[in-house]
Amino acid sequence: MSQSPQPWSQRFETALHPAIAQFNASIGFDINLIEYDITGSQAHAQMLAKVGIISAEEGDALVKGLEQIRQEYRQGQFNPGLDDEDVHFAVERRLTESIGDIGKKLHTARSRNDQVATDVRLYLRDRIRQIQVDLKAWQAALIAQAERHIDTLIPGYTHLQRAQPLSLAHHLLAYFEMAQRDWQRLDEIYHRVNICPLGSGALAGTPFPIDRHFTAELLQFEAVGKNSLDGVSDRDFAVEFLCAASLIVMHLSRFSEEVILWSSQEFSFVTLSDRISTGSSIMPQKKNPDVPELVRGKTGRVFGHLQAMLTLLKGLPLAYNKDMQEDKECLFDAVITVRACLEAMTILLAEGIEFQPQRLSAAVAEDFSNATDVADYLASKGVPFREAYNLVGKLVKTCVSEGILLKDLSLERWRSFHPLFEMDIFEAIAPAQVVAVRNSYGGTGFEQVRQQVIAAKNLLV
Ligand code: ARG
């Protein structure tokens, strides 16, 4: 321990008020960064030795001492508490305790400001790659279900009103596309995260002859930040990540909402397995869709972190301000939440949900979602579409008032509406046919969907 009552300098005479020490400390959460802090420090020490700011032996001792702290931490033997303001001080303190005065050389030509910016980038870089893997697992689950349900029909909705029937696979593959964009977004952000701020110093650089490119290379950064002020002040990479994270959970939340609706008695399109549902403490008949409900709920949390990070940054003058210590919990919680949601929804889709094809095909046969096809039928025989559309409107109105469906009309009645109707109208309005004919590129026609499944599978390998 230093002789000062504080880790930072002899300028201070009295110790911090205990409540203020607690208020000020980030060790409770930035301990999450410890391995990145150690790795960053090892690279810094190697660089110091390479350019001759410290000797090769000193560099070696620092690297080894840091490695030992990593092992101690992994084995539960190093548990910094409130005595250490943050993880950076904790590691430096332990290093000096364990290897002696050489440890005090580690912080040459460095500040906690460029150090913490480096740690956060190293942390996020790894987490982005992990979330990309999670997204692929989610996509694989979507494809597996889609493959099973190319020929299963499901009502398609707009305004939550029956619109046109769909191949269930087509519906699921819509989520595949969203996940694909989520994956790409992370991939793009990755390259802006992967830039090295180390060597920016407190804000202005350093008079020591450091080699920032060497450090960056050791840490496998793609580039070195060009402006030291920006290097310690920039958190827009974190905002971008939180935005990407928000979009991921927003997509999961929409799917969750559908699963919740589908599992209701009113829809009964799916059943959820006992392994992923829970009961009520009072109503014995209940089986609740907790997983999608929680995903929908946790989505709000991630959105909140994005808002918090933006608000945190908006009024900050350059360069580092202590406000920025608040960036970490947002990030950590967003990462944990997104990963947990992806995992839970992947399990739900892979092994916790059963679509009910019979109920689904009954559903698509009991509505007017084939009305567009009647208009298309006449339009393909030369009737102007708008005229056909108006006529079908009348037809639907008649059916509704009689409590019947289009398929219940006799050919005679069809003809009384328009002489161009022939026997093949019955086939044209059958739900499977309604789906099959929508073979335009990207449409729900079975042939299209078969190709979409193949294309999606190819993207995953
Ligand atoms: N614990 C601080 C944080 O997370 C580290 C940087 C402190 N820098 C400073 N100048 N006080 O932001």
Per-residue pLDDT tens over the stretch 396-419:
999 999 999 999 999 999 999 999
Q: Is 280 part of the annotated catalytic residue set? A: yes
Distance separating alpha carbons of residues 324 and 193, to the nearest angstrom: 17
Ligand 1 atom nearest residue 87's Cα: 1
Could you report the per-residue pLDDT of 63-100, keeping only the tens digit for each? 999 999 999 999 999 999 878 999 999 999 999 999 99
| pLDDT above 90: percentage of residues in the chain | 92
Q: What pLDDT shows up at residue 258?
A: 98
Q: What pLDDT shows up at residue 153?
A: 97
Residues 355-376, mean pLDDT to the nearest whole number: 94
What is the per-residue DSSP string for 4-46? Answer: SSSSS-TT--SPPPHHHHHHH--HHHHGGGHHHHHHHHHHHHH
Could you report the per-residue pLDDT of 18-35, keeping only the tens digit for each? 999 999 999 999 999 999
Which of 3.30.2130.10, 1.20.200.10, 2.60.40.10, 1.25.40.10 is the CATH number of 113-362?
A: 1.20.200.10
30 lines ligand 1 (CB under 6 A): yes
Could you report the per-residue pLDDT of 331-345, keeping only the tens digit for each? 999 999 999 999 999
Residues 137-156, mean pLDDT to the nearest whole number: 98
User: Directed axis angle between helix 236-263 and helix 290-314, to 10°?
Assistant: 160
167 lines ligand 1 (CB under 6 A): no
Grouping H, G, I as helix, E, B as strand and the rest as coil, residue 429 is coil
Residue from 59, 57, 97, 51 nearest 78 by CA: 97
Amino acid at 219: L
Q: What pLDDT shows up at residue 8?
A: 67
334 lines ligand 1 (CB under 6 A): no
255 lines ligand 1 (CB under 6 A): no
Distance 235 CA to ligand 1 centre (A): 13
Catalytic residue among 159, 281, 410, 440: 159
With vertex at residue 314, the alpha carbon angle to CA 308 and CA 315, rounded to the nearest 5 degrees, is 120
Q: What is the mean pLDDT of the chain?
A: 95
Confirm if 219 and 39 have CB atoms less than 8 A apart.
yes
pTM, rounded to two decimals: 0.95
The residue whose CB lies within 8 Å of the most ligand 1 atoms, and thus the one to mutate among 323, 325, 326, is: 325
Ligand 1 atom nearest residue 26's Cα: 1
Residue from 168, 144, 143 nearest 155 by CA: 168
Distance 52 CA to ligand 1 centre (A): 28
320 lines ligand 1 (CB under 6 A): yes
Range(s) within the chain of domains with CATH label 1.20.200.10: 113-362
Q: Is 159 part of the annotated catalytic residue set? A: yes
Paired tokens of 215: 């450090």
Distance 87 CA to ligand 1 centre (A): 10
User: Directed axis angle between helix 236-263 and helix 112-148, to 10°?
Assistant: 30
Q: Residue-wise over 391-411: b if at least 16 C-beta within 10 A, else e?
A: bbeebeeebeeeeebbeebee
89 lines ligand 1 (CB under 6 A): no
32 lines ligand 1 (CB under 6 A): no
Residues 132-157, mean pLDDT to the nearest whole number: 98
CA of 293: how far to CAs of 166, 298, 299, 401, in Å?
Answer: 25, 9, 10, 39
Ligand 1 atom nearest residue 30's Cα: 4
Distance 318 CA to ligand 1 centre (A): 14
| pLDDT above 70: percentage of residues in the chain | 98
- pLDDT at residue 209 is higher than 80: yes
For the chain, the first-to-last Cα distance in angstroms comes to 53
- pLDDT at residue 3 is higher than 50: no
pLDDT band at 6; cut points 50, 70, 90: low
Could you report the per-residue pLDDT of 215-235, keeping only the tens digit for each? 999 999 999 999 999 999 999
112 lines ligand 1 (CB under 6 A): yes
235 lines ligand 1 (CB under 6 A): no
- Radius of gyration of the CA atoms of the chain, in A: 31
Could you report the per-residue pLDDT of 183-198, keeping only the tens digit for each? 999 999 999 999 999 9
Which of 3.40.47.10, 1.10.275.10, 3.30.465.10, 2.60.320.10 is the CATH number of 18-108?
A: 1.10.275.10
325 lines ligand 1 (CB under 6 A): yes
- pLDDT at residue 4 is higher than 60: no
Catalytic residue among 4, 55, 280, 416: 280
Could you report the per-residue pLDDT of 98-131, keeping only the tens digit for each? 999 999 999 999 999 999 999 999 999 999 999 9
Confirm if 128 and 186 have CB atoms less than 8 A apart.
yes
Paired tokens of 243: 């935005």
Q: What pLDDT shows up at residue 5?
A: 58
Residue-level length of the chain: 461
The residue whose CB lies within 8 Å of the most ligand 1 atoms, and thus the one to mutate among 86, 87, 91, 327, is: 86
Kindly report whether the peptide bond that precedes residue 363 is cis, defined as omega within 30 degrees of 0. no
Partners of residue 195 on adjacent β-strands: 223
Distance 86 CA to ligand 1 centre (A): 8
Confirm if 309 and 259 have CB atoms less than 8 A apart.
no
25 lines ligand 1 (CB under 6 A): no
Paired tokens of 4: 């000062």
**Largest separation between any pair of C-alpha atoms in the chain:** 102
The residue whose CB lies within 8 Å of the most ligand 1 atoms, and thus the one to mutate among 16, 31, 112, 327, is: 112
Paired tokens of 36: 């990145």
- Beta-carbon count within 10 A of 3 CB: 5
Superfamily of domain 364-460: Fumarase/aspartase (C-terminal domain) (1.10.40.30)
Distance 221 CA to ligand 1 centre (A): 22
CA of 448: how far to CAs of 38, 438, 444, in Å?
Answer: 52, 8, 6
Paired tokens of 216: 């960056």
Residue from 69, 115, 111 nearest 94 by CA: 69
- pLDDT at residue 256 is higher than 60: yes
Range(s) within the chain of domains with CATH label 1.10.275.10: 18-108
Which H helix or E strand runs over 403? none
Ligand 1 atom nearest residue 320's Cα: 10
Range(s) within the chain of domains with CATH label 1.10.40.30: 364-460
